[in-house]
């Protein structure tokens, strides 16, 4: 009898710890919400040291609140996106918290992958709450993404893939309108695929098939990893650098049948060999590395590490004898005073701040609950 009581108490404590963790993470996301004027929805503050809401973070928050069964907050976030949607169905990459945007003044920055995440988030919402409120918004967004799928050749084979952005963004060193990024095509594949499943339609079957074919074309069977994308004008695969999340997100986004065409456990081993670091007392993974010269940036990226956690769980693998749960514990060390998770340990790399972030916080919520945001739950 006493043994049974002890076991029950232990289970209760474990549940309480998990519930407290979820509550703390969701409270942090809630504290970042900013109401738009005239009841036009809410935008979430992406970083504590920043004054913008990036639509990718907006999407992560929608998915997190949906998973947490908080329909009012998820609805307001999607309402903002609906009210900011342009006539062609697209969205800018980010917005100030009053709903204005640095774009197009700073360039036509409409990034395909970020928009695909918003579409996927709308499908999560529709499925969970059985609501068609944002169905037209989502359809318009996917229709815009469909217009950005372009033909190219990979290894002499005709492919169709989603272009990075419709025009070049002058402040970056590369031509966005000449690049197809694997990451963005994974995002779009999931968005089209789950829209079809939830709405029981074949509307986007051609796009789903094309995107999956391109994704698989980025797999290098000799090196056992995915390359990050290709240039449209030259049909050349980018083999100058390797990325953490092109491996993990591929494993999280693709269906089981597609995974049979690659070696997912070997891709995760590549991540383990190439990206695992210990920095500022945290064991985790950094984002990318050049192929031809030593890496100058080693830091722990919370979002990327948590994607690795979910991918490791899905494939039941370890990394240097550390389990996915070990890395989950490591990321919790990156907790900030506001209860959110820092985006990265300190780095001189421009896009990686130590500030409390929506991405780190939302992905910790996902990983703590064994929830893969690329997959919509409970669809028959």
Q: What pLDDT does 252 receive? A: 98
Give the model's pLDDT for residue 10: 45
Q: 0.85 cut: is pTM over it?
A: yes
Percent pLDDT > 70 in the chain is: 94
Is residue 3 pLDDT above 80, yes or no?
Answer: no
pLDDT computed for residue 171 by the predictor: 76
Contact status, residue 361 vs residue 25, Cβ threshold 8 Å: yes
CA–CA dist 316, 366 (Å, integer): 17
d(CA 45, CA 52): 6
User: Alpha-carbon distance 206 to 223, whole Å?
Assistant: 30
Are 145 and 193 in contact, with CB atoms under 8 Å apart? no
> 60, 359 in Cβ contact below 8 A?
yes
Tokens of 250: 């591929």
Q: pLDDT by residue (tens digit) across 86-126?
A: 999 999 999 999 999 999 999 899 999 999 999 999 999 99
Could you report the per-residue pLDDT of 29-43, keeping only the tens digit for each?
Answer: 999 999 999 999 999
**Residue 1's pLDDT band (cuts 50, 70, 90):** very low
Banded pLDDT at 137 (limits 50, 70, 90): very high
Distance CA 269, CA 136 (A): 42
**For residues 268 and 259, what is the distance between their CA atoms, to the nearest angstrom?**
13
The angle, 0 to 180 degrees and rounded to 10, between the axes of the packed helices 2-31 and 358-368 is 160
Residue 380 has pLDDT above 90, yes or no: no
The span from the CA of 71 to the CA of 66, in Å, is 6
What pLDDT is attached to residue 8? 41
Averaged over 140-162, what is the pLDDT? Answer: 97
Strand partners, 319: 322
pLDDT, tens only, 153-210: 999 999 999 999 999 988 777 899 999 999 999 999 999 999 999 999 999 999 999 9
> What are the start-end ranges of the H helices in 68-204?
71-84, 112-129, 135-147, 182-199
Confidence of residue 295 (pLDDT cuts 50, 70, 90): confident
Cα within 13 Å of Cα(7), Cβ side: 4
The span from the CA of 204 to the CA of 191, in Å, is 10
pLDDT cut 90: percent of the chain above it: 87
Q: Is 52 a residue whose pLDDT tops 50?
A: yes
5 confidence band (pLDDT: 50, 70, 90): very low
Peptide bond into 297 cis (omega under 30): no
Sign of the alpha-carbon dihedral angle for 255, 256, 262, 268: positive
């Amino acid at each position: 009898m006493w043994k049974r009581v002890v076991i029950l108490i232990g289970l209760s404590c474990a549940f309480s710890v998990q519930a407290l963790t979820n509550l703390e993470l969701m409270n942090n996301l809630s504290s970042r919400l900013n109401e738009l004027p005239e009841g036009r929805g809410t935008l979430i503050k992406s970083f504590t040291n920043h004054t913008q809401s990036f639509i990718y973070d907006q999407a992560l928050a929608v998915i997190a609140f949906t998973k947490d069964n908080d329909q009012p907050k998820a609805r307001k976030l999607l309402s903002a996106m609906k009210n900011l949607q342009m006539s062609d169905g697209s969205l800018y990459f980010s917005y100030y918290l009053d709903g204005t945007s640095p774009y197009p003044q700073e360039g036509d920055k409409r990034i395909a992958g970020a928009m695909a995440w918003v579409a996927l988030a709308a499908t999560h919402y529709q499925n969970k709450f059985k609501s068609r409120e944002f169905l037209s918004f989502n359809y318009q967004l996917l229709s815009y993404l469909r217009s950005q799928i372009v033909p190219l050749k990979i290894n002499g084979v005709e492919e169709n893939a989603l272009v990075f952005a419709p025009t070049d963004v002058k402040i970056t060193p590369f031509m966005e309108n000449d690049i197809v990024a694997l990451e963005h095509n994974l995002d779009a594949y999931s968005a089209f695929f789950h829209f079809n499943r939830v709405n029981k339609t074949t509307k986007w079957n051609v796009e789903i098939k094309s995107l999956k074919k391109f994704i698989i074309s980025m797999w290098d069977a000799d090196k056992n990893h995915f390359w990050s994308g290709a240039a449209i004008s030259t049909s050349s695969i980018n083999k100058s650098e390797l990325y953490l999340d092109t491996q993990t997100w591929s494993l999280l986004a693709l269906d089981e049948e597609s995974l049979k065409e690659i070696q997912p456990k070997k891709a995760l081993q590549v991540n383990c060999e190439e990206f695992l670091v210990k920095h500022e007392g945290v064991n985790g993974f950094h984002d990318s590395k050049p192929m031809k010269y030593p890496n100058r940036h080693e830091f722990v990226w919370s979002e990327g590490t948590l994607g690795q956690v979910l991918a490791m769980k899905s494939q039941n693998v370890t990394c240097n004898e550390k389990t996915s749960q070990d890395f989950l514990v490591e990321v919790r060390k990156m907790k900030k005073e506001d209860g959110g998770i820092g985006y990265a340990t300190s780095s001189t790399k421009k896009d990686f701040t130590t500030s409390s972030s929506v991405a780190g916080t939302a992905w910790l919520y996902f990983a703590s609950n064994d929830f893969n945001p690329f997959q919509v739950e409970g669809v028959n």
